Amino acid sequence: MQLFFIHGSGCTGDVFSAQLRAFGNAYATTLPGHRGDPLDSASIGGYADAVAVELRERRCDVVLCGSSMGGAIALELGLRSDPHVRGVVMLGSGARLRVAPAVFESLERDFPAGARALAKMFFAQPSAERVDAAVEMMLGVGQAQTLLDFHACNAFDATERIADLKVPLLAITGADDVLTPPKFAHFLADRVPDAAARILPGAGHLAMIEQPAETNAALAQFVEQIGKPERIS
């Protein structure tokens, strides 16, 4: 069984570098359109279709671990009862991902400045190094694709379906996440039959970057109930 990571809006699989180092057989996908080749349109369902193809090609059971938009994609695949999905981890995500109009306005008006303002909201402690890396990633993905991602998030709403999830779910959220605060994780834990919430102190929206050791420990504890991926550190 493999940990399979799915990134969020304006990002690539590179956001999971600490997890790929920690779990020997983990894999982080980069979604279509995110290597400088923007799509014509995007939706959570469409991204889930693309990931489902990857899962069939890889031919192994997985625990899907999605950050923000990636969490919505992981949840969608879990709700489809994809035969390869043994569990779902949502990192800074939720059953509904409404995006504030101000986010769209800032990204449309001045993309580099808007990306920097958004990147500062990703972290509880927005160091220059972390913010610069997040901005560079968004600029690499590009304005068109980043906006498509956020529109896909804004349209996503699985609140009426989450009780139908048949695999275990773990919702990990930073205590200082201002984009998807802890109430999002608690909502999932309260309504999904086999679900739990973990709130990480000292972490913001990208907890896997800001608190990698704590995130990895929570992942390891969760997957131990399902099947142990190889861990090398």
pLDDT value at residue 1: 82
CA 204 to chain centre: 13
Q: How high is the mean pLDDT of the chain?
A: 95
pLDDT value at residue 231: 47
> Can you list the alpha helix ranges (DSSP code H) found in 5-142?
17-22, 44-58, 69-79, 101-109, 111-120, 128-141
DSSP per residue over 21-32, as a string? HHBTT-EEE--T
Q: pTM of the entire structure?
A: 0.95
pLDDT in tens, 20-60: 999 989 999 999 999 988 999 999 999 999 999 999 998 88
Say if CB 30 and CB 13 are below 8 A apart.
Answer: yes
Sequence-separated contacts (24+) of 51-54 with Cβ below 8 Å: 51/4, 51/6, 51/77, 52/77, 52/80, 52/82, 54/29
User: HSE (CB half, 13 Å, CA atoms) of 102?
Assistant: 3
Query: Quick one: tokens of 2?
Result: 């493999």
**Is 70 exceeded by the pLDDT of residue 232?**
no
What is the C-alpha to C-alpha distance for residues 32 and 161, in angstroms, rounded to an integer? Answer: 26
At 233, is the pLDDT very low, low, confident or very high (cuts 50, 70, 90)? Answer: very low
Say if CB 211 and CB 200 are below 8 A apart.
Answer: yes
pLDDT in tens, 142-153: 999 999 999 999
Does the CA dihedral 64-62-46-40 come out positive or negative? positive
Q: What does the pLDDT average to over 118-147?
A: 97
What is the C-alpha to C-alpha distance for residues 48 and 139, in angstroms, rounded to an integer? Answer: 24
What is the C-alpha to C-alpha distance for residues 214 and 210, in angstroms, rounded to an integer? Answer: 9
**Nearest C-alpha neighbor of 229 from the set 16, 8, 19, 10:** 19
pLDDT value at residue 207: 98
What is the largest distance, in Å, between two alpha-carbon atoms of the chain?
47
pLDDT in tens, 1-24: 899 999 999 999 999 999 999 998
Say if CB 103 and CB 118 are below 8 A apart.
Answer: yes
Burial 98-122 (b: 16+ CB within 10 A, else e): ebeeebeebbeeebeebbbbbbebb
What is the C-alpha to C-alpha distance for residues 58 and 215, in angstroms, rounded to an integer? Answer: 25
Percentage of residues of the chain with pLDDT beyond 90: 92
Query: Quick one: tokens of 103?
Result: 């986010």
pLDDT in tens, 185-220: 999 999 999 999 999 999 999 999 999 999 999 999
**Nearest C-alpha neighbor of 148 from the set 157, 134, 138:** 138
Q: Write down all domains in the chain, each with its CATH number in brackets.
A: 2-224 (3.40.50.1820)
